[in-house]
Every structure is written in structure tokens, then in C-alpha cells.
């Protein structure tokens, strides 16, 4: 086992040129290098659990996007909801995708924090390796590293070397792609590397709609992505290095909405695993997604003798827009698809504009022989966002929807930290680290319901409407007015609703019906009869009522408009770690450590009853971990055998509770007749488990990699509002439910990843194959754990009967790869999720809502690669 040496490469260097890596010798154990302690070292010297997978290995395994990484890293869960990548490690993470939400497992690119993981998959090419640090990394990685970190490390330029590769592939699901990189030396002190890729595929959904128009809609998850990266490196002296990485990417496709299984479950009585969740009944608007990203990272590294210094500055931009492809749920046995109302354009629109800066100065001790090794630094993060969300209910009675559009959202975090290892005896080392963090957030905008009630003949309620039909373009961040103080009259209210769009749909009525109110020509609007809104026994326009002979409605009332949103929160907290390491021999170490991590808090929406939004604090995770890292002889070959045990104390967990947002002051005592769900620190959990790793070379060119996690989770306390049983007849009130004793979502008790591979000489070249088997035992998708649904009236229904099963049964996926290398050329066949296992990686539940976000369907293909 190779050991780290004083002249080991720096943290972003590669131990071997990627294009020229040879198939590993079966008789040798490969050295795995990681940067979990913010310096490059062998994984066996790290007192903790960090899993590193090389870019070559990922490609051979058929893992070509970040969501598929969970097949190789047990205990890791990755889902994509509306373009936002959610990362959970050992059941800890965050599903809050709002502008105030933060990831619970911190994503990084080349060691630099990424605040908005939208488009994270666009960075998944020309990789050196991917590192997953498990457990809180609050001291060294800091912000939102509650569950751990995911660090994508790209290939870096190499001096004095002209090299590169080009590859192309074809695959099922209409897939094809290309990737290339070239490394160009510039003299003896500088080099640049240019890499890019293009990929087209679909996600495996099927449109089963029978309507002539709706059947032509493209299913969710179709992608056409491309990205380009330029890396430059200059070393004018041995003690000074400059590097820059600039990247840009473009995602296009039909978006990432899930599949609502509520109707299928309630109508068929079947569980999710008995249904085909990819057979979706699409209708209305075509799903559409556009995401443009770019980023620049500059780094300066200097050897100052006893100290090395590193300063990096990063700027990242995200420009995301999505129109959800809507559906009438999924198909189920016996369903009559011809009875579906396909002329329904209810849907949601999302927009995110983010500009963020990250600055960090790191100082490290530079004497590898000193008993004291230390790292210290300061970190500063700043982000400005504009976000928009618009939901429209088409073809309903009244105009109804909701809008949360925030043109000014700001976040800031500043921290200072120090971490040290001190050799107290030849075989003993003490660890200690501390980090102080200060966070703040604020936002300004509008948020809440959009609605107005329209009366028909004889003051009958309520007249049907259309908005959001084909051709509709929302305004979102282009809305001209975000100041609700300017919206006080009916004309201004009508104008505010008209400002929700830039272009009305071709069959919309909102402009025609509310336009006369907005311009003052008719305070009762313009009532318009049309078969698609007034058929099937619906109300008619007033014809005989003397009060409405002007062609308007009998009344416009119950205006419901967003509330002015302005909120701010701040927090300060400390993270630390202490521990001890003991060498049992040259290749054996035991350790024990205690560490903490935090996830940023925030604030809730503004309501009439709470003009100052309620604030919730940071979540905190404290972990005790003991373990051993060993290189031992197995079957005459040096093998890695690692084992760790961990115990998590999870405090200040954020769950949703109920808040009164509308008070009836006309009765004594005053009563609440309006409610909303809000985030509060009302939970506490405990987790514990074991994690083991085996890496073993075998005879005949074989090698085995085995990783396993045994995990137990338990929510100790949390009384929450049951979002499955919201009663809108009582103003949105929901019953209270205790989660005590439940398991955390996405926390399988057994997680195993096993890779068997072989490489041997065949003819003039080398043949290699690999099989990656991943197994996850059953897990729950929500915190409700299929508890019975109890209404406010006391009626009890099983979660299954109510439409809310949330247990994903255990499943295994198998990835296969086969490759032949001849000189500089290679051909590869790959297959991921060979048995086409269908699993839910996330669920959203609410009233009549059980939306599932799924794993990647089976993919297979052929790839040709040329190195030079």
C-alpha cells in the first residue's frame, strides 16, 4: 500500500494521467487519494468514512450522471425534483427546494462550495474522481455539511504533456452523446485543458394519453445537455501556482416533474410497487425546461516555507426555467383513459436566477515531519437570487392559483476555522478543530393565493374560467409590480392578476373578463359564454338581471391576492471536532472522534397575522464515531479492511407545523379560520450504525470492492401537522400527528454496494469487465411512515386506503460493463439498472397528492474511445 509522502501531489493534482491509466495489476492494491481533510492524503490515513470513485471507474460502471452515483456509494440517496438535486447521506439531508432552502449535504466542485445544486449533473464529465464524505464536516467544509459532502473533482491540466481523448456513444432511450478533452502544454510552466460533452436521452417515462393532441406530448425527463470547461495552470516557480477553471453548461428538455400516484392508488387499491409509475397520462401544457449555468474558479497557491497558502475565488450563475408537464396521474388496471379531461392546462412554472460568490483563504503547515499539522482558514459566501413560482388551476370555477415571486433574495455566510493534528507519542495523535459561522438571509417579493370569484346569472356562484392554455407565458420575475401597497382597489387587483403573464394563452379568458375591471370600463368585468367553460350544466352569463345588463358578471368578489413578503433571519453557531488516532502498526489505525455540523435556518412566509415572519434556527447534528482502517493480508494479497461505528444525535430538526394566518374577529373569543404549514425546529432524532469496506485484489486479474452500511434511525420527538389530511373546508386546518418512533425518510437499514471486476490480456490488447451490484432494503419516503390518516372529525383510514403509501420496498440494481483496449483505442459496452428496477427516490404528499420522483430506468449502449 503506497503511503503519502512529503512531496505528495497537491489537493487538485492527479496521481496518474487519466487518458493513459493502465488496467490495474491484479497483484497490487491501488492507492486511493482523498481531500477530506483539505489536503491530499491516502484514504487509509483519514479517521472517518470517505468513499472515492475515479472517473474511469464511474464510466466503466455505466454511471454517467450524478443521480446514478448512489449505485456505487451505499447510504447515499440522490433525487431530482423540478431540477433541484437533493442529496441525503445516511438518511440526513434536506428536501426544502425553496429559495430559502439549503442542501443538508454540501455539494462541492473542486473543493469549492456550490449553493444551488440545480444543474449539478452538467459538471459530471472529464472527472478525476468523486469523493463522498459521510458524517458532518462542519469544521473543515462548514456551510450545510450537516450530512457530509459530495465533491466533484475534475481533471486538471498537466505540464509538459500533450494528451487527451475523444469518445462517442449510442444507447437506448434515444440516447447518444460525445465527450472529448485535450491537454495542451504552453512552454514548461503552463498548460491548458479543454473538455466538453453533449448528451441526449430520455428518462424512461411513457405517455399513455389517448387524446389526439395530448398523446403527442413528450414525457418528462427528456434531456439534451451540453457543457464546456476550460482549465488553465501556470507555475512560474516551484513555490507559486495559478489556476483557473471556467465552465458553462446548458440543459434543455421536458423537465423533471414526478408522477402523481394518488388517484391510481385510491382507485385500484394497489401499492406503488404493483403499478407502473412510468406510464403517465399527460395532458395540457408541454413540459419544458431550460437551464443555463456558468462558473469561474480562480486559485492561487504559494509555498511560503513552513506554511503553504491557498486563496480561491469562485463565481457561479444559474438561470433556470421550467414549465411542468402536467398529468392526470398514472395509468392503472381497468382505467378508462378516454374519460380523462385532456383539455386542462393547470400547471406550475418555476424560475431561478442565482449569482453567488465564494471566497476562501486557507493556510496549512508545510513541514511533514513536524508533530503538529494544522489547517486554518476564512470563508465567505454571498448569493443574490430572483425566484418565481406560479401555479394555475385551469378550467375551474373562479380564477385560482398561487404565486411566490421574489425578485430580491439574499444570503450570506462568513466563517473562520482551524483544525490540527498533534503527535503526542510515536503512535498516538490528537485531533481538534473549531469553526465559527455567521449566517444571514433576507427576501422581498410577493407570495400567496391568486383568485377572484365570478357570479353568473341570478348571482349564482361560480362562473367557470380558463387561463394558462396553450401559448401562455408567465411573467414571474418580469412582473412589473411587487409592491402590494399599490394594490387596494378592484381595478388594481384585476391589474395585478393580469400582470401574472406576459402572453395570455390562446384560449384564455382572463384578459377579456378582467380587462374591463382593470381599465375601469366595466367594474363587473365582461362575462363570456363559451362551450369549453360553460358547457356541462355550468352557469350562464347574466341576461335578465337589471343590475348586470352591462354584460358583466353579477358580481366579482372574494379577491385573494398574495401577501407582501419581506423577511430576514440571522444565526451564529460553532462547530468542532475532537478525536484521537492510534497506529497499531504501519498499516493499521484505530480512531475515535466527536464532531458536529449545522444546516442553515431561515424564516417562513409573511401572513396577515404575522407581518414579521416566524424564524427557525439551524439544525444541528453531533456524531460520535469509532473505527479502524487496515491493510492486511487476505489470501496472500494486501487488502483494505475498514470498519466504523457511528452514533448521531440530531437536534432542532425542521418539520412542518400549523400556524394561524387568518383570524375571525367578528366572534368572541376570536377564532382562526385560516391556516398554513410553516417550518419549525420541533424534531429530534437518533441514528446509529456500522459501515464496512473491503477492497481486495484476487487471482486471475479479479478484484472485489465491497461497501456496506447498517443503519437504524428513530425520530425521538416531533408533533407535526398532517399534510395528508388538510381540511380546506375549515380554512386549511390539519390534524396534529406525533412522529415519535418513526424512521427518517430515505434511511434503508441495509445498504450494500459490491463491485467485481477482472482485467486480462487477450490477443494484442486487454479485456476487462465489471459488475456493480447495489442493494437497498426498504425505506420510507416521508416522515409519516404510513401512519393512519385521521381527519379532524376523527375518521381513521389506513395510509394505503387514503392514497398515501410511502414505503419503498427493498430492491437491487445491477450495472454491467465490458471493455477492450487496444493501444490507444477502447470500445465499451455498458448497461445500468439491467433488471429495470423501478424505485421512488422521493415523494411529495399533500391533499390528493402523492408525487413520486423515480430512479433512472434501464440504460445500455456502446461507447468508442480514442486516447492520444
Residues 112-156 pLDDT 10s:
999 888 878 788 999 999 999 999 998 999 888 999 999 999 999
Are 713 and 91 a contacting pair, CB within 8 Å?
Answer: yes
d(C-alpha 457, C-alpha 469), whole Å: 26
| Cα separation, 231 vs 583, whole angstroms | 39
Domains and CATH numbers, the chain: 18-154 (2.170.130.10), 456-554 (no CATH)
Task: Note the pLDDT of residue 379.
Answer: 97
Cα angle 293, 297, 303 (rounded to 5 degrees) comes to: 165
Residue whose C-alpha cell reads 438571509 in the numeric block: 441
Residue 820 corresponds to which cell in the numbers above?
A: 477492450
What gap in Å lies between CA 323 and CA 401, rounded to an integer?
15
Q: Rounded to whole angstroms, how far apart are CA atoms 264 and 513?
A: 36
All cell numbers assigned to 149: 459532502
Q: CB under 8 Å to 717, separation ≥6 — which residues?
A: 682, 683, 684, 739, 740
In this structure, is the dihedral angle defined by the CA atoms of residues 793, 795, 796 and 801, taken in order, positive or negative? Answer: negative
In this predicted structure, what is the pLDDT of residue 1?
A: 27
* H-helix or E-strand spanning residue 265: helix 262-268
Q: Would strands 190-201 and 175-186 be described as parallel, antiparallel, or unpaired?
A: antiparallel
Cis amide linkage into residue 441, ω under 30° from 0: no
Contact 606, 659 (CB under 8 A): no
DSSP, residue by residue, 514-554: HHHHHHTS-TT------HHHH-TT-----SS-GGGTTSS-S
Neighbouring-strand partners of residue 307: 365
Q: Which three cell numbers stand for residue 529?
A: 359564454
Successive 10-residue mean pLDDT values, the chain, 868 residues: 35 40 54 82 88 94 91 93 89 84 89 86 92 93 91 96 97 95 97 97 92 95 95 97 97 90 96 95 95 96 95 96 94 96 94 96 92 96 96 89 96 96 96 96 95 87 89 97 95 96 95 94 89 72 70 89 94 96 95 95 88 92 97 91 97 93 81 89 97 95 96 96 92 94 97 97 96 98 96 95 96 97 97 96 92 94 97
Nearest 5°: phi and psi at 569?
A: -150, 155
Distance separating alpha carbons of residues 3 and 41, to the nearest angstrom: 8
Dihedral sign for Cα atoms in the order 206, 209, 210, 214: negative
Angle between helix axes 510-519 and 490-498 (nearest 10 degrees) is 140
Residue 19 confidence (pLDDT): 37
739-745-749 Cα angle (round to 5) = 105
Yes or no: say if 53 and 73 are a contact pair by the CB < 8 Å rule: yes
Instruction: Report the pLDDT value the prediction gives residue 548, as an integer from 0 to 100.
Output: 60
Query: For residue 772, what is its C-alpha cell?
Result: 456493480
**Element (DSSP H or E) covering residue 177:** strand 175-186
| pLDDT value, residue 337 | 97
Name 539's Cβ contacts closer than 8 Å, sequence gap at least 6.
Answer: 456, 457, 460, 461, 462, 463, 464
pLDDT of residue 546: 62
The C-alpha angle 633, 635, 638, rounded to 5 degrees, equals 35
Q: Is 585 exposed, middle or buried (0-12, 13-18, 19+ CB in 10 A)?
A: exposed
Question: Rounded distance, CA 330 to CA 263, Å?
Answer: 8
The answer, yes or no, to whether the previous bond of 82 is cis (omega within 30 of 0) is no
- pLDDT of 41 reads 84
Give the C-alpha separation, 581 to 363, whole Å.
23
- The C-alpha cell at 634 is 487476505
For residue 578, the Cα-to-chain-centroid distance in whole angstroms is 31
Q: Which three cell numbers stand for residue 68?
A: 446514478
Q: What is the dihedral of CA 645, 651, 656, 659, to 10 degrees?
A: 170
Strands 279-282 and 288-303, by their bridges, are unpaired
Q: Is the peptide bond before 669 cis (omega within 30 degrees of 0)?
A: yes
Amino acid at each position: 500500500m503506497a503511503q503519502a509522502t512529503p512531496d505528495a501531489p497537491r489537493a487538485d493534482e492527479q496521481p496518474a494521467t487519466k487518458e493513459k491509466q493502465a488496467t490495474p495489476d491484479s497483484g497490487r492494491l491501488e492507492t486511493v487519494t482523498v481531500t477530506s481533510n483539505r489536503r491530499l492524503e491516502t484514504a487509509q490515513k483519514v479517521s472517518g468514512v470517505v468513499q472515492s470513485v475515479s472517473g474511469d471507474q464511474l464510466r466503466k460502471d455505466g454511471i454517467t450522471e450524478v443521480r446514478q452515483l448512489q449505485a456505487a456509494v451505499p447510504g447515499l440517496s440522490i433525487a431530482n425534483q423540478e431540477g433541484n438535486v437533493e442529496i441525503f447521506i445516511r438518511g440526513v439531508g434536506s428536501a426544502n427546494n425553496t429559495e430559502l432552502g439549503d442542501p443538508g449535504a454540501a455539494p462541492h466542485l473542486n473543493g469549492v462550495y456550490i449553493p444551488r445544486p440545480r444543474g449539478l449533473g452538467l459538471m459530471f464529465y472529464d472527472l478525476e474522481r468523486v469523493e463522498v464524505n459521510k458524517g458532518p464536516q462542519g469544521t473543515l467544509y462548514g456551510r450545510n455539511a450537516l450530512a457530509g459532502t459530495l465533491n466533484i473533482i475534475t481533471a486538471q491540466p498537466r505540464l509538459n504533456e500533450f494528451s487527451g481523448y475523444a469518445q462517442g456513444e449510442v444507447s437506448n432511450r434515444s440516447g447518444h452523446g460525445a465527450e472529448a478533452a485535450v491537454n495542451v502544454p504552453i512552454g514548461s510552466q503552463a498548460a491548458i485543458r479543454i473538455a466538453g460533452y453533449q448528451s441526449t436521452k430520455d428518462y424512461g417515462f411513457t405517455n399513455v394519453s389517448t387524446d389526439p393532441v395530448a398523446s403527442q406530448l413528450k414525457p418528462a425527463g427528456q434531456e439534451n445537455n451540453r457543457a464546456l470547461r476550460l482549465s488553465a495552470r501556470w507555475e512560474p516557480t516551484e513555490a507559486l501556482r495559478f489556476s483557473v477553471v471556467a465552465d458553462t453548461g446548458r440543459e434543455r428538455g421536458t423537465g423533471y416533474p414526478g408522477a402523481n400516484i394518488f388517484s391510481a392508488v385510491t382507485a385500484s387499491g394497489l401499492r406503488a410497487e404493483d403499478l407502473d409509475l412510468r406510464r403517465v397520462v399527460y395532458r395540457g401544457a408541454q413540459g419544458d425546461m431550460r437551464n443555463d449555468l456558468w462558473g469561474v474558479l480562480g486559485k492561487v497557491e504559494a509555498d511560503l516555507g513552513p506554511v503553504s497558502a491557498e486563496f480561491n475565488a469562485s463565481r457561479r450563475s444559474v438561470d433556470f426555467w421550467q414549465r411542468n408537464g402536467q398529468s392526470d396521474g398514472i395509468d392503472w388496471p381497468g382505467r378508462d383513459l378516454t374519460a380523462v379531461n385532456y383539455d386542462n392546462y393547470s400547471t406550475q412554472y418555476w424560475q431561478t436566477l442565482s449569482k453567488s460568490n465564494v471566497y476562501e483563504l486557507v493556510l496549512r503547515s508545510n513541514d511533514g515531519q513536524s508533530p503538529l499539522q494544522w489547517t486554518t482558514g476564512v470563508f465567505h459566501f454571498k448569493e443574490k437570487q430572483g425566484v418565481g413560482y406560479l401555479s394555475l388551476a385551469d378550467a375551474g370555477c373562479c380564477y385560482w392559483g398561487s404565486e411566490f415571486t421574489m425578485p430580491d433574495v439574499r444570503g450570506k455566510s462568513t466563517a473562520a476555522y482551524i483544525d490540527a493534528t498533534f503527535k503526542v507519542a510515536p503512535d498516538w495523535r490528537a485531533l481538534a478543530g473549531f469553526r465559527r459561522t455567521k449566517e444571514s438571509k433576507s427576501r422581498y417579493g410577493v407570495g400567496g393565493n391568486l383568485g377572484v370569484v365570478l357570479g353568473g346569472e341570478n348571482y349564482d356562484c361560480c362562473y367557470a374560467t380558463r387561463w394558462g392554455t396553450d401559448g401562455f407565458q408567465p411573467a414571474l420575475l418580469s412582473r412589473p409590480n411587487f409592491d402590494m401597497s399599490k394594490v387596494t382597489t378592484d381595478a388594481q387587483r384585476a391589474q395585478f392578476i393580469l400582470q401574472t403573464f406576459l402572453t395570455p394563452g390562446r384560449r384564455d379568458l382572463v384578459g377579456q373578463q378582467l380587462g374591463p375591471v382593470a381599465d375601469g370600463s366595466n367594474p363587473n368585468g365582461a362575462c363570456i359564454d363559451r362551450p369549453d367553460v360553460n358547457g356541462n350544466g355550468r352557469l350562464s352569463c347574466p341576461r335578465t338581471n337589471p343590475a348586470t345588463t352591462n354584460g358583466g358578471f353579477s358580481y366579482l368578489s372574494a379577491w385573494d391576492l398574495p401577501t407582501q413578503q419581506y423577511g430576514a433571519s440571522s444565526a451564529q453557531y460553532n462547530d468542532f471536532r475532537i478525536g484521537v488516532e492510534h497506529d497499531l502498526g504501519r498499516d493499521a489505525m484505530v480512531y475515535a472522534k466527536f464532531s458536529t455540523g449545522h444546516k442553515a435556518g431561515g424564516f417562513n412566509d409573511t401572513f396577515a397575522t404575522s407581518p414579521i415572519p416566524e424564524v427557525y434556527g439551524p439544525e444541528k447534528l453531533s456524531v460520535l464515531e469509532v473505527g479502524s482502517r487496515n491493510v492486511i493480508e487476505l489470501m496472500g494479497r494486501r487488502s483494505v479492511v475498514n470498519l466504523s461505528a457511528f452514533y448521531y444525535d440530531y437536534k432542532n430538526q425542521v418539520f412542518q407545523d400549523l400556524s394561524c394566518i387568518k383570524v375571525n374577529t367578528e366572534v368572541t373569543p376570536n377564532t382562526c379560520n385560516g391556516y398554513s404549514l410553516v417550518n419549525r425546529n420541533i424534531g429530534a432524532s437518533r441514528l446509529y450504525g456500522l459501515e464496512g469496506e473491503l477492497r481486495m485484489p484476487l487471482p486471475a486479474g479479479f478484484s472485489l470492492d465491497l461497501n456496506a452500511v447498517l443503519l437504524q434511525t428513530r425520530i425521538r420527538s416531533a408533533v407535526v401537522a398532517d399534510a395528508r389530511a388538510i381540511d380546506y373546508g375549515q380554512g386549511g386546518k390539519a390534524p396534529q400527528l406525533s412522529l415519535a418512533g418513526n424512521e427518517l425518510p430515505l434511511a434503508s437499514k441495509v445498504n450494500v454496494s459490491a463491485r467485481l471486476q477482472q482485467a486480462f490480456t487477450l490477443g494484442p490488447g486487454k479485456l476487462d469487465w465489471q459488475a456493480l451490484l447495489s442493494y437497498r432494503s426498504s425505506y420510507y419516503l416521508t416522515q409519516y411512515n404510513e401512519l393512519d390518516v385521521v381527519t379532524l372529525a376523527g375518521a381513521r383510514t389506513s395510509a394505503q386506503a387514503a392514497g398515501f403509501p410511502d414505503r419503498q420496498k427493498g430492491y437491487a440494481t445491477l450495472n454491467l460493463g465490458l471493455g477492450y483496449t487496444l493501444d490507444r483505442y477502447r470500445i465499451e459496452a455498458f448497461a445500468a439498472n439491467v433488471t429495470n428496477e423501478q424505485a421512488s427516490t422521493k415523494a411529495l404528499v399533500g391533499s390528493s397528492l402523492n408525487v413520486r420522483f423515480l430512479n433512472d430506468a434501464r440504460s445500455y449502449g456502446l461507447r468508442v474511445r480514442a486516447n492520444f
